[in-house]
Amino acid sequence: MACLLLASALLAGCGEKIEAFGGPTMGSHYSLKYLAGEGAPSPQALKAEVDGLLAEVDAQMSTWRADSDLSQFNRLPAGSCRAMPASVLELVRFGEALSGKSDGAFDLTLEPLLDLWGFGPQSRGETVPSAEQIAAVQSNVGHRHLRIEGARLCKDAAVEVDLNSVAAGYTVDRIAARLAEVGVSSYLLDVTGELRAAGRKPDGSPWRIAIEAPRDDRQVAQKVLELSGVGVSTSGDYRNYFERDGRRYSHTLDPRSGAPISHRLASVTVVDSSTLRADGLSTLLMVLGPENGYAFAEREAIAAFFVTRTDRGFATRATPAFERRFGEGERP
């Protein structure tokens, strides 16, 4: 569900060669730029491993293919259970914890609402549903309807799970763990806009990425970050939306209202040692909005960078944890 928008890596350096490859994944793309350590696999062999991990996640978690483990679970009626991969159960537990911590502002069971509004795989086009339609669908939304029994995921309502707000971040961490195992310690990895960097480039300079400014017309760098040993996720409302009668409807839904967010927060970027956590938290903060989201991030010591629409343009605001890492405060 998250709209994860980070601009291309800003690469510079000389000396030792930077290897690079990428390809399509999850309806978008991925890329890896890295320094091959001694004994590391060839670029062809490493690409095959990365592609294999991406294919595994897609087969388990995609809501856009009917044969995935998650799609098969979603088609089950209320009162059903199904054995699920450990990775899916891990993400459900993670989502449940975030949901509880945020009083339901984060929810992985939004699939029926996404379809209703025209943003899901089973949608029939963009539409503005009635309050009665939203209420009917919301009866089958909520982590309270899910439970894990051993290796099985169970539902007591016609719940449909959507892991798109966390799957890419999880995948980045999986690939990063494999890179460490095969001796790749310096890299910049991007999976559908979720990024992770480690080590440094051949000339000793850090990997740099640009946070994209929330513009509809063109890509502009809002801020450049130097990264090492962390993951980055950005969620925003400025690419995936539709308009009706002069009103803008974002793809980011608030589970508590069943409707798209309506506040002025345009994007939020989270930096964390776990890319999975950064992915989920960026979505959560986007739902909470500029004030409640900032308060939550400050209370939880989250390194977050907020971009908010104002009558004079955009204003940026960073949490203390972000300031300590990157030295960015509030700016109109």
217 pLDDT above the threshold of 70: no
Per-residue pLDDT, averaged over 294-306, amounts to 97
Within the chain, all domains assigned CATH 1.10.3980.10 are found at: 65-155
Q: Among 2-6, 13-17, 150-154, name the most confident range.
A: 150-154
CATH code for the domain defined by 19-58+166-326: 3.10.520.10
User: For the chain, what is the mean pLDDT?
Assistant: 88
303 pLDDT above the threshold of 50: yes
Within the chain, all domains assigned CATH 3.10.520.10 are found at: 19-58+166-326
| pLDDT value of position 13 | 40
| pLDDT value of position 221 | 62
The domain defined by 65-155 folds into T-fold (1.10.3980)
- 3-state SS record for the chain: CCCCCECCCECCCCCCCCEEEEEEECCEEEEEEEECCCCCCCHHHHHHHHHHHHHHHHHHHCCCCCCCHHHHHHCCCCCCEEECCHHHHHHHHHHHHHHHHCCCCCCCCCHHHHHHHCCCCCCCCCCCCCHHHHHHHHCCCCHHHEEEECCEEEECCCCCCCCCCCHHHHHHHHHHHHHHHCCCCEEEEEECCEEEEECCCCCCCCEEEEEECCCCCCCCEEEEEEECCEEEEEEECCCCEEEECCEEEECCEECCCCEECCCCEEEEEEEECCHHHHHHHHHHHHHHCHHHHHHHHHHCCCEEEEEEEECCEEEEEECHHHHHHHCCCCEC
92 pLDDT above the threshold of 90: yes
| pLDDT value of position 297 | 98
Q: Among 30-39, 115-124, 225-234, name the most confident range.
A: 225-234
Per-residue pLDDT, averaged over 209-230, amounts to 75
Question: Which pLDDT tens digit goes with each residue over 9-21?
Answer: 444 344 468 999 9
| pLDDT value of position 268 | 95
191 pLDDT above the threshold of 70: yes
| pLDDT value of position 223 | 80
Per-residue pLDDT, averaged over 70-79, amounts to 97
